[in-house]
Amino acid sequence: MKILLFFPPWTRKLGWYLLVPSFMAGLYCIFTDFELEFLKLPMFAIYQDQFMGHTSYLSLIEDNLTMELIGVCYVFGLLFTGFSKLKIEDEFTIQMRYNALMWSTLMSCFLLLFTLLFFYGTGFFICMIFNMFSIPTIYVLRFSYLIHRSNSSAE
Amino acid sequence: MKNQLKVFRAIKNMTQDELAKAASVSRQTIYAIESSKYVPSTILALKLAAIFETTVENVFILEPSDFSAKD
């Protein structure tokens, strides 16, 4: 059985170097509203909806890209850690990948239900931002745990 | 399903690592099969049997519980 998309094995380490700092930076920026001033740049927006303002389509807007930059680093971190080829990629590791994917989808559904039922107002939107990343994040964590468990039990 | 992987490995005087290399899988996979944590695919089962120069039925043995519905 073949999985189509795999990055080379060395990208796994790079993935962790991107993932952990961007996760911490993301949390810090969300809870402190920290933004890097020099990242206030004009950007092309397909859709922009300003609070109490007008809606614009396909326009140039000025925005601070701190969160966007952190988000991009985090997504690449997830892709590299979750979809990089292991040194030996065989049917057992593919089964672990499926297990992790199943787990992450289920957990994400539970998180979604929990958020829908118990979070309201702006708290709901903040939780939904976290939920956007929940499937790949839980997948990476579960897959890494399964690899670690398999390695340590085989020793 | 039981398996005789360990027995055949001992007969052939092979380590888990050597068997893994011969079957193009990781050592963790061999360990998982030996400890019945993982049931290999048909291709891998046939490959392992071929390495031990025997049939799949000799390496992997069905148990009565395998015939009843699980969970």
Question: Is the CB of residue B61 less than 8 Å from the CB of residue B3?
Answer: yes
Question: From the CA of A92, how many Å to the nearest CA of chain B?
Answer: 6
Write the secondary structure of A72-97 as one string of H (helix), E (strand) and C (coil).
HHHHHHHHHHHCECCCCCCHHHHHHH
- Contact list in A for residue B16 (CB cut-off 8 A) is 154
* Residue A134 reports pLDDT greater than 60: yes
Residues A66 and A95 in one domain: no
Q: DSSP for A115-153, please give it.
A: HHHH--THHHHHHHHHHHTHHHHHHHHHHHHHHHHHHHH
pLDDT in tens, A28-74: 998 898 999 898 898 898 988 876 667 888 888 888 899 999 999 99
Tally of structural domains, chain A: 2
* Residue range A96-113: mean pLDDT, rounded: 96
CATH of span B2-67? 1.10.260.40
B38 touches chain A (CB under 8 A): yes
Residues A70 and A15 in one domain: yes
Tokens of residue A128, six digits: 């939904």
**Band of residue B54 on the pLDDT scale cut at 50, 70, 90:** very high
* Residue A1 reports pLDDT greater than 80: no
Domain limits for position A127: 88-155
pLDDT in tens, B17-44: 999 999 999 999 999 999 999 999 999 9
The answer for A 1-20 residues in CB contact with B (under 8 A) is 1
